[in-house]
Amino acid sequence: MIFAIARKEFVDAWRDGRFRLGAFVMVILLATSTLLAWRQTERTTHERAAATALERENWLGQGQKNSHSAGHYGVNVFKPVAPLSLFDRGIEPFVGTTLFLEAHRQNQAAFAPAQDATAMRRFGELTGAVGLQLLAPLLIILLAFGSVAGERERGTLRQVLSLGVSPRALVFGKTIGLGAALACLFVPAFLLLFGALSSAEWVSTADVGARLGWLALVYGVYLSTVLFVSILVSTLAPSGKSALAILLAMWAAGSVIAPRLASDVVHASMPLIALADFENEMNEDLQKGLDGHDPRSKRMEEFTQRVLRENGKARVEDLPFNFRGLAMLESERLAGEVFDHHFGRLWDRIDAQDRAVTFGGALAPMIALRTVSMGLAGTDFGRHRHFAVAAENHRREFVRVLNEDVMKNASPENQAYAAGRELWEQLPVFALDDVGLERVLERARLAIWILIGWFIASGMALFWAANRMKASAA
Amino acid sequence: MLVARKLIKRFQDRVVVDELDLTVAPGEIYALLGPNGAGKTTTINMFLGFLAPDGGSVSVSGIDVAQDPVGARRKLAYIPEQVALYPRFSGVENLDYFSALGGRRHTTNELFQLLERSGLPRAAAERRVATYSKGMRQKVGIALALATEARALLLDEPTSGLDPAASHDFSTLLRRLAQEDVAILMATHDLFRAREDATRVGILLGGRLAAEYTRKELEHADLEELYLERLRS
């Protein structure tokens, strides 16, 4: 019986011109946006690879010079493009993609794509994720608002129940049938994307298939929840029109207003430090030390005395190595502590903001979905932080190698020492060991649980509504 | 068989069905007459299990509706004033779906035959029901009763709005079902059809059975006059 109901719902859905039109528009929008995003992502991947190669060429071709000067010459590193950013752009348009690595300074990533955008960008980008988060629920509402209320108005509900069909079986069958109609639309789209990504030569992330699988699962849970809620409202509403009005109001509140509101509330209650203040405080701590009572000059003086004492010398000139190189190493170590403190505090704050916004998913599941989607696509703040930390580690290693070279080779007798290509080649090209899927899922755990909570709660509410349908049907 | 024993239904303080005793035996067509609000549809709703009685009981083919509403519904077919069908499906597809819900599977040929027996030709049965007249819809309803092999049939104003020819066709089908030992309870305002088709006629007033006549008793009486007399009293 449930199969018969599901089959009838499936066929009825596809015979419904409104659904077919909605599905057609949806497919065209998703296909167009994905194709455009594919081209852009592929182009950006190639551009960044070319820029990395050019940077390397410049670095290797900088000529003979003092190693420390090479540290100031610096090198640009580029954030690798996450292949699934073609599906969900996340925060990518608003954060920098390029980091300039140089001696003494930890820089922030620069050149956010949004800086190059036209005013049209303020409307946002249409991506697969936006389509599934915003438009797919509308399609589900269009499909399901009359699923029970429409039958009640038409009189077919009485007809069906008079045949001995239990309301639970009816609702269950409808859910399966409508879900299958929607699956016919979305599953092939996911499979197509999976196939295309698997065969694309520019896709290097090994776990892209697993990530896409998780995305399919998470979006499946979210869209199922929307379907449950739509059928639930249709079951409880007095008419199809009121069901549609209620569902559209819920869509606007949950998909448009709530994410904006959650973000604004969190920003107001947990504000971020202004960029100028951040820079000022960091520069002050670089000079005065993190405790504010231990000036840099004093610490360097103490360091000098300790090195002389340990080597049994009275003057730095008598040390068996270039003290300037060692002092720069120490200076970098001290600066590193300050950078770790300030950047760590800033990033922890952004992480806390993200977590707080995710809690808003308890009121609107789309907020939780966005968190998981961005994480799996590799376009969330977690990956950006991972890139910034990896780039900073690379910078410190690169500066250490250069300063050690100064220490060892630029002796007082050899003041004109200049390193060359041999040393530059010892410094590896920056390569990001991307955030593993396990860590992504760990980070998105709260959001995933919220989505599961919504799925279970909406399913139970639908079960409850189906059980009380008898009275309302008569 | 359809049986109501001391059946009571109240809506807030108003008694809509008041200790109604009613039995419709297999092969019988029972016409329940009464003005609007007399309790006819409420009685049918209690047989269907859509409304729970406040007193008394109803049973269908020996199954207590309160105890096993789904089991009771499996024994009956229901034809409302306007048979509700799915407009994007053809007549035969509607019949296929509804009979599957009623627990009966038929081949497509059998379904066409059932519809033809109910007076709906194959060409019409293949068309989407959005284009159907009310009479054609009623025929699908009768075909459904045949398809589910219902032992009891509940009809709520089935001939209201039908043209005379469609009404006559419908009556012919009903009588054929009665010959197959189906117990038929028909709530109606159509005195002509009640007199023509019913084996018994009951007049419901204020939820009570005010009078009951057999076909034999009506052979030499004017049902309209009897009915109006009861209303006036």
User: Mean pLDDT, to the nearest integer, of B187-212?
Assistant: 87
Spatial separation of the C-alpha atoms in residues A363 and A449, rounded to whole Å: 13
Which chain B positions have a beta carbon within 8 Å of A14's beta carbon?
Answer: none
Q: What is the dihedral of CA A426, A432, A436, A440, to 10 degrees?
A: 150
The domain of A387 spans 2-269+321-473
Taking a C-beta distance cutoff of 8 angstroms, is the pair A242, A248 a contact?
Answer: no
B contact test, residue of A162, A165, A472 with most B CBs within 10 A:
A162
Taking a C-beta distance cutoff of 8 angstroms, is the pair B85, B94 a contact?
Answer: yes
Taking a C-beta distance cutoff of 8 angstroms, is the pair B94, B131 a contact?
Answer: no
Residue B59, pLDDT > 90, answer: yes
A contact test, residue of B97, B132, B151, B155 with most A CBs within 10 A:
B97
Which chain A positions have a beta carbon within 8 Å of B49's beta carbon?
Answer: 470
User: Mean pLDDT, to the nearest integer, of B214-222?
Assistant: 80
Which chain A positions have a beta carbon within 8 Å of B71's beta carbon?
Answer: 164
Which chain B positions have a beta carbon within 8 Å of A166's beta carbon?
Answer: 70
Nearest CA in chain B to A8: B97
CB contact under 8 A, B101 and A164: yes
Distance from CA of B219 to the nearest CA of A (A): 35
Does residue A410 lie within any of the structural domains?
A: yes
- Please tell me if residue B6 touches chain A, with a CB cutoff of 8 Å: no
Distances (CA, A) of B144 to A67, A229, B26, B88, B98: 92, 33, 18, 18, 7
Does residue A414 lie within any of the structural domains?
A: yes
Which chain B positions have a beta carbon within 8 Å of A4's beta carbon?
Answer: 97, 100-101
Spatial separation of the C-alpha atoms in residues B134 and B35, rounded to whole Å: 23
Does residue A333 lie within any of the structural domains?
A: yes
pTM above 0.95, yes or no: no
Taking a C-beta distance cutoff of 8 angstroms, is the pair A181, A26 a contact?
Answer: no
Nearest CA in chain B to A153: B84
- Please tell me if residue B58 touches chain A, with a CB cutoff of 8 Å: no
A contact test, residue of B43, B68, B101, B111 with most A CBs within 10 A:
B101
CB contact under 8 A, A156 and B70: no
CB contact under 8 A, A8 and B97: yes
What does the pLDDT read at residue A228? 97
CB contact under 8 A, A162 and B48: yes
Spatial separation of the C-alpha atoms in residues A13 and A40, rounded to whole Å: 35
Residue A273, pLDDT > 60, answer: yes
Secondary structure string (H, E, C) spanning chain A: CHHHHHHHHHHHHHHCHHHHHHHHHHHHHHHHHHHHHHHHHHHHHHHHHHHHHHHHHHHHCCCCECHHHHHHHCEEEECCCCHHHHCCCCCHHHCCCEEEEECCECCCCECCHHHHCCHHHHHCCCCHHHHHHHHHHHHHHHHHCCCCHHHHHHCHHHHHHHCCCCHHHHHHHHHHHHHHHHHHHHHHHHHHHHHHHHHCCCCCCCCHHHHHHHHHHHHHHHHHHHHHHHHHHHHHCCCHHHHHHHHHHHHHHHHHHHHHHHHHHHHHHCCCCCHHHHHHHHHHHHHHCCCCCCCHHHHHHHHHHHHHHHHCCCCHHHCCCCHHHHHHHHHHHHHHHHHHHHHHHHHHHHHHHHHHHHHHHHCCHHHHHHHHHHHHHCCCHHHHHHHHHHHHHHHHHHHHHHHHHHHHHCCHHHCCCCECHHHHHHCCCCCCCCCCHHHHHHHCHHHHHHHHHHHHHHHHHHHHHHHCHHHHHC
Of A332-336, B86-90, B129-133, give the lowest mean pLDDT range.
A332-336
Does residue A296 lie within any of the structural domains?
A: no
ipTM: 0.84
- Segment 66-95 of chain B within 8 Å of chain A by CB: 69-74, 76-78, 80, 82-86, 88-89
Q: Which positions ≥6 away from A13 have C-beta within 8 Å?
A: A19, A143, A177, A178, A181
CB contact under 8 A, A159 and B84: yes
Distance from CA of B50 to the nearest CA of A (A): 5
Mean pLDDT in chain A?
86
Does residue A279 lie within any of the structural domains?
A: no
Residue B224, pLDDT > 80, answer: no
Closest CA to B147 of B183, B109, B111: B111
Distance from CA of A231 to the nearest CA of B (A): 18
Does residue A278 lie within any of the structural domains?
A: no
Spatial separation of the C-alpha atoms in residues A137 and A255, rounded to whole Å: 9
**Structural domains of chain A, count:** 1
Spatial separation of the C-alpha atoms in residues B168 and B159, rounded to whole Å: 9
Question: How many A-B residue pairs are in contact by the CB < 8 A criterion?
Answer: 72
% of chain B surpassing 90 pLDDT: 31
CB contact under 8 A, A1 and B103: yes
Does residue A452 lie within any of the structural domains?
A: yes
User: Mean pLDDT, to the nearest integer, of B5-21?
Assistant: 89
Residue B92, pLDDT > 70, answer: yes
% of chain A surpassing 70 pLDDT: 92
Spatial separation of the C-alpha atoms in residues A233 and A22, rounded to whole Å: 21
What does the pLDDT read at residue A471? 42
Phi and psi at residue B96, in whole multiples of 5°?
A: -60, -45
Could you report the per-residue pLDDT of A274-303, keeping only the tens digit for each?
Answer: 888 888 888 888 877 666 566 667 777 888
Nearest CA in chain A to B81: A155
B contact test, residue of A163, A166, A468 with most B CBs within 10 A:
A163
Distance from CA of B18 to the nearest CA of A (A): 20
Which chain B positions have a beta carbon within 8 Å of A474's beta carbon?
Answer: 45, 48, 50-51
Residue B205, pLDDT > 50, answer: yes
Could you report the per-residue pLDDT of A350-363, keeping only the tens digit for each?
Answer: 999 999 999 999 99
Which chain A positions have a beta carbon within 8 Å of B88's beta carbon?
Answer: 12, 15-16
Residue A472, pLDDT > 50, answer: no
Nearest CA in chain A to B50: A474
Closest CA to A41 of A104, A83, A13: A83
What does the pLDDT read at residue A220? 95
CB contact under 8 A, B74 and A155: no
- Please tell me if residue B167 touches chain A, with a CB cutoff of 8 Å: no
Does residue A427 lie within any of the structural domains?
A: yes
User: Mean pLDDT, to the nearest integer, of A154-170?
Assistant: 88
Residue A7, pLDDT > 70, answer: yes
Could you report the per-residue pLDDT of A428-451, keeping only the tens digit for each?
Answer: 888 888 888 899 999 999 999 999
Sequence ranges of the domains in chain B: 22-75+151-233, 84-149
Residue A473, pLDDT > 50, answer: no
Distance from CA of B169 to the nearest CA of A (A): 22
| Structure tokens, B207 | 């939820």
Spatial separation of the C-alpha atoms in residues A29 and A132, rounded to whole Å: 11
Q: Which residue among A4, A161, A162 sits closest to B97, beta carbon to beta carbon?
A: A4
Secondary structure string (H, E, C) spanning chain B: CEEEEEEEEEECCEEEEEEEEEEECCCCEEEEECCCCCCHHHHHHHHHCCCCCCEEEEEECCEECCCCHHHHHCCEEEECCCCCCCCCCEHHHHHHHHHHHCCCCCCHHHHHHHHHHCCCCHHHHCCEHHHCCHHHHHHHHHHHHHHCCCCEEEEECCCCCCCHHHHHHHHHHHHHHHHCCCEEEEECCCHHHHHHHCCEEEEEECCEEEEEEEHHHHCCCCHHHHHHHHHHC
Which chain B positions have a beta carbon within 8 Å of A472's beta carbon?
Answer: none
CB contact under 8 A, B97 and A164: no
Residue A194, pLDDT > 90, answer: no
Spatial separation of the C-alpha atoms in residues A154 and B85, rounded to whole Å: 8
Q: Who wins on pLDDT, B19 or A415? A: B19
Please, which pLDDT band fits residue A119 given cuts at 50, 70 and 90? low
Topology of B22-75+151-233 in CATH? Rossmann fold (3.40.50)
- Please tell me if residue B45 touches chain A, with a CB cutoff of 8 Å: yes
